[in-house]
Amino acid sequence: MVVASIDIQGGKVVQLKQGADLVLQRDNVQALACEFDKYGEIAVIDLDAAMGKGDNAALIRAVLPLGECRAGGGVRTVDDAARLVEWGAKKVIIGSTAFRAGGGFCVNHAFLEKVARRIGRERVVVAVDAREGEIVVDGWKTRTGLPLIETAHIVAPLAGELLFTSVENEGMMRGTDMDAVRLLKEAVKQEKDPATLLTVAGGVSAIEEIRAIAEAGADVQLGMALYTGKIALGEAFVESLNWKKCGGMIPVIIQEAKDGQVLMTGYADREAVRETFVRGNVCLHSRTRDALWMKGANSGQTLRLRRLRADCDRDALLAVAEASAGVCHTGAWSCFATEKGLRKESRRTPSASPYLNARAASLTPYVPGEQPRDKACIKLNTNENPYPPPPSVIEAARKAASETLRLYPDPACTELRGAVAARYGLQPENVFAGNGSDEVLAFAFAAFFESKTKSESPAHEEQPVLFPDVSYSFYPVYAALWDVSCETVPLRDDFTLDAAGYLRQNGGVIFPNPNAPTGLALGKTDVTRIIEYQHCIGKVVIVDEAYIDFAAPGLSAVDLVETYPNLLIVRTLSKSAALAGLRVGFALGNEALIDGLCRVRDSFNSYPVDRIAQAAALAAIGEAAYYDTLVRRIIQTRERVSAELAQSGWTVLPSSANFIFIKHKTLPGTTVFQRLRENGILVRHFDRPRIADYLRVTIGSDEETDRFLAIARAAKFP
């Protein structure tokens, strides 16, 4: 295996000669991590922390989730090591602390054993930095008197891997100490325990050295030679493989990046591995034609490379890739399955509990948008407001966080309901408050839509609840939870909602307006037609207006509440009010409908909205002018980004929400999603029929949007 070094000092990637003299530096830390991950693990080292000159913790935390990283620099406690693992490090590199104990220099058995117990021995990498055969510490400045080979033999049982750096050769590109490498490989052999791995760094400057290190049974870490262009990672990877053992043709297992499904197997020679990196698509050697073969070159069914990895003996490869279509020559999705692999939504492991009832065991829960630990990512995947709530709202929450928290909140949310009612020209009896609009919707399914029973008549079975086929993916989850029969009504080819599809016998209707994830709004006339028809057949209509504040004025159905007793409108403070972290939603409807929601609530949890949330929500309702300004700003950004993407050839649906629904002119949605993610932009991709090539992109701040546009227009998206 080839390990690429990312040494960070002062927030930049640097290369130092002899650990002191700056030779070069770069700013693109995260981009380098995404690129290096294709070839092998990445060594991310915080040089400032290692030298006791501050740290780069925030940047390290942002980089670790981007690849298979080993991290080090300044690891002085067990908690330091555990924290790096928590941030996403695959392994932790420990240097000076491993050789300092009791005021002197020796192998710190106690510390290494504690770290191994905490994070696992296989994650522990001990750096045996040596100058002229002697272990050195403190940034290679302090000699310890500990002999390299003998000390490595003592350390080996305590670590999963040793990282050997020939300090006198570090940054000099004049070769490494191969005699020491061979002696170290012998020293780390264990009679009973698993063999300790060995990685070699310092001075490696030629492909021949990589080949020699691999033949000695060790991995290689590249720094200066990589950054100066002396060695290319792709070529280093090729020459690190055990071609002699496999007779020049190495087996390749190809795995789908999204869900881990094995797609196919093949064989590759040196040329195929090289071309895989060059083309960015998996290439193999066709034994039938005895020639290079790029999968999909003729059919278009390409395998976009994410990363290539060798097994422990370096005689087999795992290619993690994104399949643009089915890969098997029979037309099946893979050579091992007829259908596309597991969706993320269905990859939850079923509970093994024998006490779980059949309904719970069969549920496929809703999967929310990714909430990454990587704070450096631009997060445009969960439709959050990019701007903060007003100071008055934050202050109201702070005041509510007082000694009164020992008391239960007002179960009826009396003040909040009164303020909401006044805002929309209704009475408090027309308002229900809940723990986010999701809870309100769940209660509405329980209150107004019939559950199936064994005694129900065939006529009842023919009256399912209706909602759009492309819509909020929580609706089918609620239907399954409450055992409600449901049926989807297809959107038109242009993704607009077809009101006529709801003018038939049914068990009730629910739809978002504007719709999610398309962002398209249904006109007031069609909304009224659906409500009127449902009123005639005695069924409820739930209009989910989570994004209505971003739509054209007058589109809301609020003014129909007093006219139609079967209409329930559900709203949230998560979007336009910038309070997603509070979880407050409400419903507007006839007093009898509100009473029905209260019946369900009080049979489930009579205190759904806590004191702090009620206080902050109440303050937010009184800040209409502030929020109007925020909404206008988001709409302006939405229109700007929509126009610029359309000019660049993207398909952009006309949005009435705080997000846009877009499709690239040539690339599949999975590819675009992953390329944006590799560039630090998180958006939402739904792997479903009709919309698999579309992405939902939240409207962020102008700065976030400009970054997204720059990447979307870049050469990576031709």
Write out pLDDT tens, residues 509-550: 999 999 999 999 999 999 999 999 999 999 999 999 999 999
- The answer to whether 498 and 489 have CB atoms below 8 angstroms apart is yes
Highest mean pLDDT among 7-11, 24-28, 283-287, 691-695: 691-695
Which pLDDT value is given to residue 7? 85
Which pLDDT value is given to residue 716? 53
> What percentage of residues in the chain have a pLDDT greater than 70?
89
* Ranges assigned E (strand) in 552-693: 567-572, 585-589, 651-652, 659-663, 681-682, 684-685
Which pLDDT value is given to residue 458? 47
User: 231: which 2 tokens?
Assistant: 């060695």
- Find out if CATH 3.40.640.10 is the number for domain 391-622: yes
> What percentage of residues in the chain have a pLDDT greater than 90?
44
What are the pLDDT digits (tens) for 591-639?
999 999 999 999 988 889 999 999 999 999 999 999 999 999 999 999 9
Could you give the residue range(s) of every CATH 3.20.20.70 domain in the chain? 2-239
Is there a catalytic annotation at residue 55?
no
Which pLDDT value is given to residue 21? 62
Is there a catalytic annotation at residue 374?
no
pLDDT score of 172 more than 80:
no
* Closest to 307 in 3D by CA, of 2, 31, 38, 1: 38
Q: Which residue has the higher pLDDT, 568 or 277?
A: 568
Binning pLDDT at 50, 70 and 90, where does residue 322 land? confident
Exactly one of 129, 219, 374, 549 is catalytic; name it.
129
**Rg of the Cα atoms in the chain:** 30
- Find out if CATH 3.40.50.150 is the number for domain 2-239: no
Could you give the residue range(s) of every CATH 3.10.20.810 domain in the chain? 250-342
Which pLDDT value is given to residue 501? 93
Could you give the residue range(s) of every CATH 3.40.640.10 domain in the chain? 391-622
Exactly one of 7, 37, 438, 549 is catalytic; name it.
7
What are the pLDDT digits (tens) for 387-409?
999 999 999 999 999 989 999 99
Q: Which CATH architecture describes the domain 626-712?
A: Alpha-Beta Complex (3.90)
C-alpha–C-alpha distance, residues 124 and 159, integer Å: 5
- The mean pLDDT of 216-228, rounded to a whole number, is 82
Average pLDDT, the chain: 86
Which pLDDT value is given to residue 26? 76
Which pLDDT value is given to residue 435? 94
Q: Give phi and psi for 166, each to the nearest 5.
A: -80, 95
- The mean pLDDT of 208-227, rounded to a whole number, is 84
Which pLDDT value is given to residue 371? 62
Q: How many CA atoms lie within 13 A of 382 on its CB side?
A: 15
Q: What is the layout of strands, in order, in the sheet containing 684-685?
A: 651-652, 659-663, 694-698, 684-685
Q: List, in sequence order, every residue forming a beta bridge with 309; answer none if it has no partner.
A: 318
What are the pLDDT digits (tens) for 550-565?
999 999 999 999 999 9
Q: Which residue has the higher pLDDT, 716 or 585?
A: 585
User: 301: which 2 tokens?
Assistant: 């069914």
Q: Which CATH architecture describes the domain 250-342?
A: Roll (3.10)
- The mean pLDDT of 315-335, rounded to a whole number, is 80
Could you give the residue range(s) of every CATH 3.90.1150.10 domain in the chain? 626-712
Which pLDDT value is given to residue 512? 97
